[in-house]
Structure 1
Amino acid sequence: MERLKIAIQKSGRLNEDSLKILKESGISVSNGLDQLRATVSNFPMEILYLRNSDIPQYLIDGVVDIAIIGENLLVEKDQGSIKVLEKLSFSKCRVSLAVPKTFEYNNIKDLAGKKIATSYPNTLNKYLKSEGIDAELHQISGSVEIAPNIGLADAICDIVSSGSTLFKNNLKEVEVIGRSEAVLAVSPEISESKKEILDKLRFRLQSVLKARNFRYILMNVPDGQIQKVISILPGMRSPTVLPLAEKGWSSIHTVIEKNKFWEVIDELQDLGAEGILVAPIEKMVI
């Protein structure tokens, strides 16, 4: 049986989140410790655990058909032939410039002629050129944030999530030059037959991603307020209304965007809604 080959990061946060979304999509992965290849028992797919920086080239060469990878790496490798199919809403970060806290920074011109350490030289070079800034770049791997402390550089360019690593190294973020998240990327060499398998996987992923943005909400409402409650609930099509055993009351069930709930909770309570329950949704097929 033909199998879709997917590459994910060998270890780290991206690895964990990638396996999590595959599991939520009904993909059963069975692999042992330190195994570089894993089979899937219930879907025509094979997983290859690869070093993050190697994945773009494997996609270009057609060694793997698809990959879950950080968008920032595709930008750095300048692989325009690799198509991004889905943004996966995890492993979000930004590519930023940072300087020591004692550095008097006003704007990007303050870095002209300075030494900047980075693991993303292409991304940084493009940004500096666009700003008309000439600086000296030092390409290093790992622990970029230590460079200013040991006198290797005046500033750094690196990925930032929470900013805690910068804080621990007495650095401050001064410019965001790009934003990134995990994406599903596809090889330009993928065959038509494997595209059919990919479409099925993509459908599953989309169902999981949609569900993460919504919540299932149910509440008890006085019958006289049903229409008003329905009018303020941004449901998908039409709420379900069920009569309760207690006369004069009904239960309303609907789906709401998770970030909209707190916007309407006060209105719902003012209309007499009681016993409001909010639950996560595992999958959503629209």
Structure 2
Amino acid sequence: MLGLPKGSLEESTLKLFGKAGYQIAKSSRSYRPSFDDPQLDGRFIRAQEMSRYVENGFFDCGLTGHDWVVENGSDVVEVCDLIYSRASNVKSRWVLVVPEASSVQSVKDLEGKRIATEVTNIVSRYLADNGVKAEVEFSWGATEVKVPEMVDAIVDLTETGNSLRANKLRIVDVLLETNTKLIANKEAWACPEKRAKIESMALLLTAALEANKKVGLKLNIEKSKVPDILDELPALRNPTISQLTDENYVALEVVLDEKVVREIIPSLKAHGAEGIIEYPLNKVVPD
């Protein structure tokens, strides 16, 4: 049984599974999706609750944030990192935030103050570790609007910090970095058949995420110019090179980070490359 996150991660999770080769169909009114893999069955459930249900064995595995594993204190196997979210492929942070004009400069300044957050256990442990006594209240959402009128500080989740700055809020400290993880129930992980299935899923999901950052590049080049390309462009040190029907030319193919393509393609052209083709990738399987 597979647990899929309901809510903000839902659509991006379905897209990731689709790229990994698993087609998951869902009804807008159903929490039970259908899978094209007869070995899979599952449910949608809030990421905040996922680790508890995985730990208790209702799910063999599921996707949730590392933060909710920590918040719930769940004893599960963290199979692999899957760094993606609704908006980006970067890690998020739970941060201690105060208004820009606040006198609070460190956690020590929160003594006797009131803090709102969704991760009350994480915040309570953080305060205890720093020897600070403060009131921690659960926030159902829209936490940013509660300072300074309702509370003195908040602990909120952010990726870039742009929204916090737009609301004239200042980050005082980072409590936890987090990202989506595939987690497994310990008994399921100990079962060879279930573990093999979970590991296969982890491999394909990881490969699909890795492919998001890379592209394939093909080109034709005179054989005599290949050394110049390899010397000038370190990213192309391990390409696949194939002989063309014209014995003076070869086809070169390589996988590289998408962010460097804009620099590499003009350089390739300047070195005499022809027929340059950039193409997307579905999976890049790690070594």
- TM-score normalised by the chain length of structure 2: 0.85
1:88 to 82, 87, 94: 82
For residues 25-104 of structure 1, what are the structure 2 equivalents within 5 Å? 25-79=20-74, 81-91=75-85, 92-104=91-103
Contact 1:27 1:43 in 2 (8 A): no
Q: Which residue of 1 aligns with 2:106?
A: 107
State the shift of 1:119 in Å: 1.0
Unmatched runs of 5 consecutive residues or more in structure 2:
86-90
For residues 265-280 of structure 1, what are the structure 2 equivalents within 5 Å? 268=268, 271-273=271-273, 276-280=276-280
Aligned to 1:226, what secondary structure does the other structure show?
helix
The Cα offsets for residues 195-220 of structure 1, whole Å up to 9 and x where unpaired, read as: 23223322322331332232211234
Q: Which residue of 2 aligns with 1:253?
A: 253
The Cα offsets for residues 189-248 of structure 1, whole Å up to 9 and x where unpaired, read as: 314432232233223223313322322112343433202323434358542244476x85
Paired with 1:68 and 1:236, the residues of 2 have a C-alpha distance of: 37
Q: Which residue of 2 aligns with 1:240?
A: 241
- TM-score normalised by the chain length of structure 1: 0.85
Q: Which residue of 2 aligns with 1:119?
A: 118
Q: Which residue of 1 aligns with 2:215?
A: 215
Paired with 2:209 and 2:237, the residues of 1 have a C-alpha distance of: 16
Q: Identify if the C-alpha distance between structure 1 residues 37 and 206 changes in structure 2 by more than 3 Å, giving closer, same or farther.
A: same
Contact 1:60 1:189 in 2 (8 A): no
For residues 144-159 of structure 1, what are the structure 2 equivalents within 5 Å? 144-149=143-148, 151-159=149-157
Moved more, 192-201 or 119-128: 192-201
Q: Which residue of 2 aligns with 1:185?
A: 183
Paired with 2:248 and 2:238, the residues of 1 have a C-alpha distance of: 25
Letter aligned with residue 67 of structure 1 = G
Q: How many residues align?
A: 278
Contact 1:233 1:256 in 2 (8 A): no
Contact 2:6 2:44 in 1 (8 A): yes
Q: Identify if the C-alpha distance between structure 1 residues 276 and 31 changes in structure 2 by more than 3 Å, giving closer, same or farther.
A: same
RMSD value, Cα: 2.6
Moved more, 221-230 or 86-95: 221-230
Paired with 1:207 and 1:120, the residues of 2 have a C-alpha distance of: 31
Contact 2:51 2:183 in 1 (8 A): no
State the shift of 1:265 in Å: 5.4
State the shift of 1:88 in Å: 0.8
2:13 to 3, 18, 23: 18
Moved more, 247-256 or 120-129: 247-256
Q: Which residue of 2 aligns with 1:130?
A: 129
The Cα offsets for residues 89-117 of structure 1, whole Å up to 9 and x where unpaired, read as: 10231101111122245333333332211
Paired with 2:153 and 2:33, the residues of 1 have a C-alpha distance of: 41
Letter aligned with residue 120 of structure 2 = P
Are positions 1:202 and 2:194 aligned together?
no
Unmatched runs of 5 consecutive residues or more in structure 1:
none
What is the identity percentage for the equivalent residue pairs of Structure 1 and Structure 2?
A: 24
State the shift of 1:184 in Å: 0.5
